[in-house]
């Protein structure tokens, strides 16, 4: 790919898509990055900075039409149902995460798309996986439908890479913390909600126990990891679709304490619900040495730096919403 890639982003209105799309447009030119989602974009930044098309990944013809029309050669396939929604509607999770992925892969194969990004998750791990410093190569026996679809997705992507020559690359993301678009239906969503609640009400009721340590990452690092892996020299990649990555691990109580350093009267209470069982099946900390060795992965934000930046961004966003 010598000229600028022609990119399609599925799930562009979601937590990662809404930010990654803008960075890709900045990097490769607005006209070269087609944002797609099954609902119309409400964010003017997403809608007005480049092409936007309606695509429902469970309907293959909608993907096919956009790939053909825009001569797409690179896909970032972000459309997915996350862990908590997946437990409430496992049929939908299977349909979107497996049938949707299969549709994207088949269109990519038929239209000779060169490269595809696939976000996997720490949800591929399960209660039998070592929870501390979880290795790259380990037991993958998730108990959630979301985790099952992510393990199958990794394997399906690896099949298309090995058998059919599609250059698929994927990352097992931890919980992603960000300010632009609220996540929806995940178990790690508390780590975003807590900031909005702290700034607006000085109070948050967390749906996980205070001591539930999970791996996390701030959005700028999520975008950096995605771009770095997609730009990596393929001859250095021993893995393909399943890189462990992490930035820091934190529990709700530790995150609340870090926020209290900036908002001393912030109070966090705990009322664990069905999402606790999901979190209890996931790792505490992750070994991401393969990503570090094979494509130079290195996060920039630790917990304190993320909290400072998040509070600044959330305050700016909320005051703009009040004024604008
Ligand atoms: C979720 O909580 O479901 C996601 C994930 C860790 O993949 N954020």
Q: If you average pLDDT over every residue of the chain, what do you get?
A: 96
pLDDT digits (tens, 9 = 90+) for 197-212: 999 999 999 999 999 9
Does 142 lie in the same domain as 88?
Answer: yes
Contact 166, 113 (CB under 8 A): yes
Compute the distance from residue 43 Cα to the ligand 1 centre, in Å: 23
Global pTM value: 0.97
User: Does any domain span residue 66?
Assistant: yes
User: Does any domain span residue 2?
Assistant: no
Q: How far apart are CA 225 and CA 308, in angstroms?
A: 21
Query: In terms of residue numbers, what domain contains 136?
Result: 7-176+218-244
User: Does any domain span residue 267?
Assistant: yes
User: Does any domain span residue 142?
Assistant: yes
Compute the distance from residue 83 Cα to the ligand 1 centre, in Å: 6
pLDDT digits (tens, 9 = 90+) for 233-248: 999 999 999 999 999 9
Is there a catalytic annotation at residue 146?
yes
Candidate of 154, 177, 188, 278 to mutate for ligand 1, largest count of ligand atoms within 8 Å of Cβ: 188
Q: What is the CATH number of the domain that holds 68?
A: 3.40.50.720
Does 63 lie in the same domain as 189?
Answer: no
Q: Percentage of residues in the chain with pLDDT exceeding 90?
A: 94
Does 228 lie in the same domain as 211?
Answer: no
Q: How far apart are CA 74 and CA 153, in angstroms?
A: 18
From 146, 190, 218, 301, active-site residue = 146
pLDDT score, position 2: 58
pLDDT score, position 322: 66
pLDDT digits (tens, 9 = 90+) for 30-64: 999 999 999 998 888 899 999 999 999 999 999 99
CA-nearest residue, atom 1 of ligand 1: 186
Q: In total, how many domains does the chain have?
A: 2
Does 59 lie in the same domain as 92?
Answer: yes
Compute the distance from residue 4 Cα to the ligand 1 centre, in Å: 31
**Residue 311 above 90 pLDDT?**
yes
Does 279 lie in the same domain as 155?
Answer: no
**Residue 323 above 80 pLDDT?**
no
Q: How far apart are CA 99 and CA 92, in angstroms?
A: 10
Contact 85, 123 (CB under 8 A): no
User: Does any domain span residue 262?
Assistant: yes
Atom number, ligand 1, closest to the C-alpha of residue 84: 3
Does 272 lie in the same domain as 135?
Answer: no
**Residue 1 above 60 pLDDT?**
no
Does 151 lie in the same domain as 277?
Answer: no
Does 58 lie in the same domain as 85?
Answer: yes
Does 54 lie in the same domain as 32?
Answer: yes
Does 65 lie in the same domain as 165?
Answer: yes
Q: How far apart are CA 28 and CA 218, in angstroms?
A: 23
Query: Which residue from 190, 186, 185, 183 is spatially nearest to 272, judged by alpha carbons?
Result: 190
Contact 70, 32 (CB under 8 A): no
Quote helix, strand, coil % in the chain, to nearest 5: 45, 15, 35
pLDDT score, position 42: 85
Does 142 lie in the same domain as 257?
Answer: no
pLDDT digits (tens, 9 = 90+) for 11-29: 999 999 999 999 999 999 9
Compute the distance from residue 143 Cα to the ligand 1 centre, in Å: 14
**Residues with Cβ within 6 A of ligand 1?**
82-83, 121-123, 146, 173, 175, 186-188
**Residue 131 above 70 pLDDT?**
yes
Q: What is the CATH number of the domain that holds 279?
A: 3.90.25
């Amino acid at each position: 790919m010598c000229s600028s890639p022609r990119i399609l982003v599925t799930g562009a209105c979601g937590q990662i898509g809404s930010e990654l799309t803008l960075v890709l447009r900045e990097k490769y030119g607005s006209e070269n990055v087609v944002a797609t989602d099954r609902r119309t974009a409400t964010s003017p930044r997403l809608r007005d900075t480049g092409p936007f098309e309606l695509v429902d990944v469970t309907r293959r013809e909608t993907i096919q039409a956009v790939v053909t029309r825009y001569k797409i050669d690179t896909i970032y396939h972000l459309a997915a149902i996350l862990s908590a929604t997946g437990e409430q509607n496992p049929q939908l999770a299977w349909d979107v995460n497996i049938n949707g992925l299969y549709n994207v892969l088949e269109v990519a194969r038929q239209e000779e798309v060169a490269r595809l990004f696939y976000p996997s998750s720490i949800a591929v791990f399960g209660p039998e996986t070592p929870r501390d410093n979880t290795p790259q190569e380990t037991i993958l026996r998730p108990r959630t439908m979301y985790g099952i679809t992510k393990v199958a997705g990794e394997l399906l992507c690896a099949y298309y890479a090995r058998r059919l020559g599609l250059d698929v690359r994927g990352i097992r993301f931890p919980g992603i913390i960000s300010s632009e678009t609220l996540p929806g239906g995940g178990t790690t969503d508390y780590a975003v909600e807590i900031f909005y609640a702290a700034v607006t009400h000085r109070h948050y009721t967390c749906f996980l126990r205070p001591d539930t340590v999970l791996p996390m990452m701030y959005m700028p690092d999520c975008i950096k990891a995605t771009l770095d892996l997609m730009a990596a020299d393929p001859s250095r990649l021993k893995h393909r679709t399943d890189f462990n990555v992490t930035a820091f691990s934190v529990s709700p109580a530790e995150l609340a304490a870090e926020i209290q350093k900036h908002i001393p009267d912030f109070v966090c209470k705990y009322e664990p619900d069905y999402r606790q069982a999901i979190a209890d099946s996931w790792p505490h900390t992750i070994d991401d040495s393969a990503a570090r060795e094979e494509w130079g992965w290195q996060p920039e934000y630790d917990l304190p730096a993320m909290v400072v930046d998040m509070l600044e961004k959330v305050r700016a966003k909320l005051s703009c919403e009040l004024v604008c």
